[in-house]
Chain A
Amino acid sequence: MTSVKIKIMTNMMLILNKLTASCEIITEKISESIDHKLTLKERITIRIHITFCKFCRRYYRQLTMMHHYFEERLKKESQSSPPAGSSLSLEAKGRIKKNLKKNT
C-alpha cells in the first residue's frame, strides 16, 4: 500500500471513531452484547461502526462464533462424550469411595 493510501485510511478511521466511538469502546460494547441487552443507541452505534471498520467487524464475528462454540460444547457435555485426557487414578477413586461411605 502506498503511503498516501495509508494516510487516507487512517483519516477515515479517525472520522469514523469521532462519528461513532473508538474501536476500544466498540469492542468493549461488543463483548457486553453477549452478556446483556444493549440500548438501541448502543446497538446502532456498533452496527454503523462495524459496517465501515473491518477489524471490529471481524472482532464482532469472532466473539459471536466463540460464544456459539461454548454453547454447543455445553449442550454436548450434558449428553455423553467425555472430555478427553484426564481421568481419576485408582487411589483417588478409592479415597472418594471411602469418604463417601464415611459421610452417608
Chain B
Amino acid sequence: MFFFQIFTDLQEESEPDESKAKQQKVSSDNWVDEHGDYLYGLAVQRVGDPRAAEDIVQDTFMAGLKALDSFQGRSTERTWLVSILRHKIIDFYRKNKRFVYFDQDGDPEESAAFYHSGRLKGTWKPEFAPKEWFENPVDALEKKEFQDILQECIKNLPKNLAAVFTIREMDGWSTEEICKELKISQSNLWVMLHRSRMQLRQCLEKNWFSG
C-alpha cells in the first residue's frame, strides 16, 4: 500500500512535464478567445488606433506564452495578462517617441490662456475658473456616457499630453518609472501632466460636470 502510494506520486510528478508543450498550444488559442476582447478593449482605450491595439494584444499574448513558467497562479490569469499589457503600452509609446515629441512639453500658450495677463497676471480668467461639480467622478465610474466623454477629452489633448496622462493615470505608473522608460526629465514630465490635467478638467467640466 505504502509502496503503491509512492509509485503513484512519482507518476503524478512526471505528468506535467510531458503535457507541458501540449498545454501551451492549447492555451494560446483559448487565451485569444477568453481574454482577447478584454485586453483589446483596454488597449483601444489607451492608444486609440485599432490596428496598434491589435498588435499590442498580440505582443501581450506572445510575452505571456514566453513567460508562462513565471506565472505561478498567485493572481488570476487575466490579472497577470493585464499587467503584461501595461508594460506593452509603455513600450508602444517609447517606440513611437519619434511621432510623439516628449521633449517639447506642449504649447505653453495653451495653458497660459487659462489666466489673465497684465495687471491681473496669474489669476483665473472667469470663463476658465473652475465651477462647482454636480457629481463626484467616482460615482460616474460605471456610467458609459461618462467614460465616452472622458475618452473623447483625452483624445482631444495634444498627443504627447494624452500619452503621458494615459500612462500615468490610466495605468498607474509612477513618475520615476515613466521618466526612466521615456528618457525624459522629472520636471518635463510634471509640466506635461499639469497641462494635461488642466485641459482635461476643463473639457470634462464643459461636457459633463456642469450638467
Q: Which residues of A contact B (CB under 8 A)?
A: 10, 13-14, 17, 22-25, 27-28, 31-32, 34-36, 55-56, 58-59, 62-63, 65-74, 76-80, 82-88, 92-93, 95-97, 99-101, 103-104
Q: How far is the CA of A80 from the CA of B140 in the complex (A)?
A: 18
Given contacts A96-B58, A104-B28, contact A74 B40 (CB under 8 A): no
Q: Interface extent on B, as a size class?
A: 35 or more
Pick the contact of A82 from B25, B28, B37 — CB < 8 Å? B37
Classify the interface of chain B: helix, strand, loop or mixed: helix
Q: How far is the CA of A41 from the CA of B33 in the complex (A)?
A: 54
Q: Which residues of B contact A (CB under 8 A)?
A: 24-25, 28-29, 32-33, 36-38, 40-42, 44-45, 50, 53-54, 57-58, 61-62, 65, 75, 78-79, 82-83, 112, 114-115, 120-124, 129-133, 136-138, 140-141, 144, 147, 168-172, 175, 186, 189-191, 193-194, 197-198, 200-201, 204-205, 209
A35 contacts across to B, CB distance below 8 A = 168, 175, 189-190, 193
Whether B197 lies near A63 (C-beta < 8 A) is: yes
Q: How far is the CB of A88 from chain B (nearest CB, A)?
A: 5
Whether B172 lies near A83 (C-beta < 8 A) is: no
Interface centre among A10, A22, A96 (most CB of B within 10 A): A96
Whether B172 lies near A82 (C-beta < 8 A) is: no
B122 contacts across to A, CB distance below 8 A = 17, 22-25
Pick the contact of A59 from B170, B200, B201 — CB < 8 Å? B201
23 contacts between A and B (CB under 8 A): A10-B120, A13-B120, A13-B123, A23-B123, A24-B112, A31-B197, A62-B205, A63-B197, A65-B136, A65-B138, A66-B137, A69-B140, A69-B141, A83-B44, A87-B37, A95-B54, A96-B57, A97-B29, A100-B28, A100-B58, A101-B28, A104-B28, A104-B65
